[in-house]
Amino acid sequence: MIFSPADPGGITILEARHGLRVFTFHRDLQQFRLINRTLSLHEDYHFYADEIGFAEIATSSFDNNVWLIDQRDFSLKKYNIDSKRITSTTPLDLLLSNQSHQLLYCLEYQNRLFISTKDAGILIFDTLGNYLKTYPVSNAVHFDFWQDEIYYLDGDLLMRRNLYSDAVVARTLPHGNWKFAIINHDLLYLFTDKNIFLYK
């Protein structure tokens, strides 16, 4: 199956985490798409300037809404798809300086939202947008989850941190220019710009 929209634009974030739909966020178009499991477009949704100045990054939430970072007022916002309204706003200027911290990636998992930054680490919020804590991680461009762990690359180390005990396990990887990793059952997938390597 192939999905080919009339105005594809650049895809900033693509998620296929919710079994029956694919979420794509397009920063340049200031819109997101929901695509069903047959790769048919459900609907295009645009962020409008009266509600959102400029969405820097966005991710789907498990209640079928969208989390986003609005650069206009440097805040975390939750956007209700049905009402097309903001349901919560959390200012980030006290946690981060928008001049010095680049926002990289965000995902919701087990009723918490995780936002990685270039310098300040991975910030964690609850489902109401309340700040909980920060993992001191540098430049975690990509992170993901496996069971009760968050994992990410730190050079040639695969870092796995338990979400509840905060216990950290570091695994040394073969030397390589790794971009990101995916854990799936007993396999580890390591990605470079051109290749995928599988390890047990």
Reading the chain (200 residues) residue by residue, the pLDDT tens digits are 566 666 666 788 888 876 678 889 999 989 998 888 777 766 788 887 788 999 999 999 988 899 999 999 999 999 999 888 999 999 998 887 655 678 889 999 999 999 998 888 899 999 999 999 999 887 778 899 999 999 999 888 899 999 999 999 999 988 888 888 999 888 899 998 888 988 88
Start and end residues for every CATH 2.130.10.10 domain found in the chain: 1-141
CATH superfamily entry for domain 1-141:
YVTN repeat-like/Quinoprotein amine dehydrogenase (2.130.10.10)
Please give the full DSSP string across 65-129, using - where no structure is assigned. -EEEEETTTTEEEEEETTTTEEEEEEE-TTT--TTT--EEEEEEETTEEEEEESSS-EEEEETTS
CA-CA distances (angstroms) from residue 137 to 64, 82, 115, 150? 29, 35, 11, 12
115 and 131 Cβ atoms separated by less than 8 Å = no
CB neighbourhood size of 12 (10 A): 16
Sheet architecture: strand order including 103-109: 103-109, 112-117, 122-126, 131-135
What is the pTM (predicted TM-score) of this model? 0.87
Q: Which two tokens stand for residue 26?
A: 């397009």
